[in-house]
A = this chain, B = another copy of it.
Amino acid sequence: MGNFKGHALPGSFFLIVGIWWCVKFSFWHVSRRKKNACPFATKAVYRRVEIIEATVIVVFSLIGMIAEQFVPDGPHLTLFNHKEQHWDHLMNWQHTTMYLFYGIAGAVTIAVHTTAAAPVAFDRLMLSIAVFVEGFLFLYHLHGRDMLDVHVHMLLLYAIFGGALTVFLEVFLRGNILLELLRTSLCLLQGSWFWQIGFVLYPPSGAPQWDLQDHNNMMFITMCYCWHYAFSLLLVAGIYTITSWVLHSKLKRIPQMEMGLLKRDHERESDDDM
């Protein structure tokens, strides 16, 4: 992963997931608030969407795991290099492990939505664990690097652990649109920050190198991180507004006053109650 592409790829992935979640949660929340209005926003449809999403995650995890193992300079399932007496391609193995947990989370999500075997909240619990494990493995990635290198990865970890915590809260407050959009914004932040890390550590040819020991760079990058989050928040707000507006314009008038009164109840409604 020690190159620009290795950071841009997961960055793009998280950006796409973030945008998708933002559309999904906005759509459900708005359509849930006016029952009968949107004929296809039923519980069955919701369930099917969740299953498709989880299937995509499982497929991508499998592809990721296979790719990490069998790229030309990958470990090819060899864990220990006996000739040189050291661990073989630890990086690839770590990424494989990260994919493994996302794969488990996807599989559990499919299981709880296709069968009635277990509480649906298990999907959030497993997602929370998968995100946590991603952060946990990153945490022990950083030993002995330069100050700025460590710092940009620490900032990434804030987004990751913040996301894990938010998803964990969703276990108990399922269908809370605030937590869902908070999680989405942290996912987008993670995505765009991966790109930023790529630009900082592997500047495109022609651009000057960053001084990785300069404290001013560290202060600038912290501020930059906040800008990324502001951008992420505006993106979420924009997508929510557009989704909301499209649904309203299609669904015509619903008495404004009634909605205000119903507002609080709806917020507490879980996804299941559509």
Contacts and interface: CB of A to CB of B under 8 A. Distances in A.
Interface of A: 86-87, 90, 93-94, 97, 100-101, 104, 108, 116-122, 125-126, 129, 133, 136-137, 140-141, 143-144, 171-173, 177-178, 182, 215-220, 222-223, 226-227, 229-230, 233-234, 237, 240-241, 244, 256, 259-260, 263-264, 267, 270, 272
Contact of A215 (B116, B118, B144, B218): B144
Contacts of A87: 216-217, 219-220
* Residues of A contacting B: mostly: helix
B244 A117 contact: yes
Contacts of A217: 87
A153 to B, nearest CB: 14
A133 B122 CA distance: 29
A15 B155 CA distance: 31
B101 A226 contact: yes
A216 B136 contact: no
A178 B173 contact: no
A108 B117 CA distance: 33
A222 B100 contact: no
A33 to B, nearest CB: 9
Given A129-B233, A141-B219, 6 more contacts: A108-B237, A118-B240, A119-B177, A119-B263, A140-B219, A140-B222
B178 A226 contact: no
A270 B63 CA distance: 41
Nearest to A273: B264
B86 A216 contact: yes
B182 A178 contact: no
B223 A137 contact: yes
Contacts of A141: 219
Contacts of A93: 220, 223
B116 A259 contact: yes
A118 B259 CA distance: 11
B178 A101 contact: no
Contacts of A122: 178
B223 A97 contact: yes
A229 B133 contact: yes
A104 B233 contact: yes
6 contacts: A87-B217, A97-B230, A116-B259, A119-B177, A171-B178, A264-B270
Max chain B Cβ within 10 angstroms of own Cβ: one of A108, A177, A241, A264: A264
A25 to B, nearest CB: 12
Contact of A227 (B97, B233, B264): B97
Contacts of A140: 218-219, 222
